[in-house]
Homo-oligomer: A and B are copies of this chain.
């Protein structure tokens, strides 16, 4: 649904909403005709929410599409992920909790190896360990370029983040990664006239980097990709009219929340810590996004049983949420991460929307199969979730007379 339409209808109300995103929640069966992770888990509290609420399965980014965590979260937050794409540099910053400011230009750096002629021989510098990356970043931090402030941060292995602050220039600069070995790194070409300063600064950074890294073989050069700035999107509050807080222990999810203007609360990364933060901030916000990470990690490790136990642990925390008496509780995942695939997948994701006002359906428990028969449908767009939540929270005006 178009943001300009929904923001026109959103109205204030004295109601509170909790949206819990259980990362990688959806699964598939391990054995023929066996249960999925969610079906195998004992979840009496979630089952009650499902029985009292309305259920379904959402597709985050379209039929058959396996989304990354960023686009999948945006979709559940009501931002069409195909229309709201974030540059790789900004995404890298979000993933390590770097506080990117408006006007900053972020890009992802790779340490690489070049030969004496300057031709790339390894685009990932032999996948150096993260510890070495940290030492190399220290070297890069000695680089100074007048008129700008530079930030260099270790991401992992051969990857780092470069942020250029204070330039007042466009981020539209081409990648320098030649994409194959045997070629020299490309020049950082400006893709529009307004990006010339950025390109020059990047060029100067690369030149100085090759100097300071000269003796650091195999990591004796850098490649820069995904030049980007904070996107210019309507904030979550502007679109949906709620004062929103994000409770997420992992950087990536705090980052995505910050991107749409949610207030990010301090929390540990254990589910019970997150619920504690929810409780202690209950009076200060209308909308709480609570993120559970470990289901996804278990799925990616291919550990069906561990994913089941994380889901069971989350279930035991549900009474602490219901005790707060929210007007709407929504529980879903951002995408599926079936343990048998050890990876994100395209499978639709279970959803409960629970309120006093929803029309109950035939889903009597929280499972993929029960949700298929639910009132929200077996394969509905994730961006539908927010308007339905708002309606249940009595936060949308009538459309038309």
User: How far, in whole Å, are A86 and B400 apart by their CA atoms in the complex?
Assistant: 8
Query: Which chain B positions have C-beta within 8 A of A391?
Result: 63-66, 345-346
Query: Which chain B positions have C-beta within 8 A of A359?
Result: 26, 28-29, 36, 347-348, 368
Query: Which chain B positions have C-beta within 8 A of A64?
Result: 384, 386-392, 396
Is A373 at the interface (CB under 8 A from chain B)? Answer: yes
Is A125 at the interface (CB under 8 A from chain B)? Answer: no
Known: A1-B63, A346-B396, A359-B347. A68 touches B401 (CB 8 A): yes
Annotate A2-29 by CB proximity to B: 1 below 8 A, 0 otherwise: 1001000100000000000000001011
Is A369 at the interface (CB under 8 A from chain B)? Answer: yes
User: How far, in whole Å, are A374 and B372 apart by their CA atoms in the complex?
Assistant: 8
Which of A194-202, A286-294, A296-304, A375-383 lines the interface with chain B?
A375-383
Contact among B65, B344, B372, B390 for A375, CB-based, below 8 A: B372
A205 vs chain B, min Cβ distance (A): 23
Contacts of A53-83 to chain B: CB distance below 8 A: 56-57, 61-71, 81-82
Interface centre among A61, A86, A341, A397 (most CB of B within 10 A): A61
Known: A372-B375, A379-B375, A379-B376. A400 touches B85 (CB 8 A): yes
Q: Are A65 and B369 in contact (CB under 8 A)?
A: no
Query: Which chain B positions have C-beta within 8 A of A69?
Result: 401
A401 to B, closest residue via Cβ: B68
Contacts of A106-154 to chain B: CB distance below 8 A: none
A84 to B, closest residue via Cβ: B400
Interface centre among A9, A29, A85, A91 (most CB of B within 10 A): A9
A360 vs chain B, min Cβ distance (A): 7
Query: Which chain B positions have C-beta within 8 A of A42?
Result: none
A132 vs chain B, min Cβ distance (A): 23
Contact among B81, B343, B399 for A399, CB-based, below 8 A: B81
Known: A71-B400, A88-B401, A377-B377. A62 touches B1 (CB 8 A): yes
A333 vs chain B, min Cβ distance (A): 13
User: How far, in whole Å, are A368 and B2 apart by their CA atoms in the complex?
Assistant: 28
A interface, by DSSP: helix, strand, loop or mixed?
A: loop
Q: Are B70 and A401 in contact (CB under 8 A)?
A: yes
How many copies, total?
A: 2
Is A309 at the interface (CB under 8 A from chain B)? Answer: no
User: How far, in whole Å, are A347 and B28 apart by their CA atoms in the complex?
Assistant: 31
A336 to B, closest residue via Cβ: B359
Interface centre among A95, A384, A392, A398 (most CB of B within 10 A): A398
Is A33 at the interface (CB under 8 A from chain B)? Answer: yes
A343 to B, closest residue via Cβ: B398
A22 vs chain B, min Cβ distance (A): 17
Q: Are A65 and B360 in contact (CB under 8 A)?
A: no
Known: A63-B388, A373-B373. A400 touches B81 (CB 8 A): yes
A57 vs chain B, min Cβ distance (A): 8
A62 vs chain B, min Cβ distance (A): 5
Known: A388-B346, A396-B64. A362 touches B372 (CB 8 A): yes
User: How far, in whole Å, are A240 and B390 apart by their CA atoms in the complex?
Assistant: 35
A86 to B, closest residue via Cβ: B400
Is A320 at the interface (CB under 8 A from chain B)? Answer: no
A370 to B, closest residue via Cβ: B362
Is A357 at the interface (CB under 8 A from chain B)? Answer: yes
User: How far, in whole Å, are A359 and B30 apart by their CA atoms in the complex?
Assistant: 10
Q: Are A400 and B28 in contact (CB under 8 A)?
A: no
Known: A362-B369, A375-B372, A401-B88. A387 touches B65 (CB 8 A): yes
Given contacts A1-B65, A63-B380, A67-B398, 5 further A-B pairs with CB under 8 A are: A62-B387, A68-B398, A68-B399, A88-B401, A372-B374
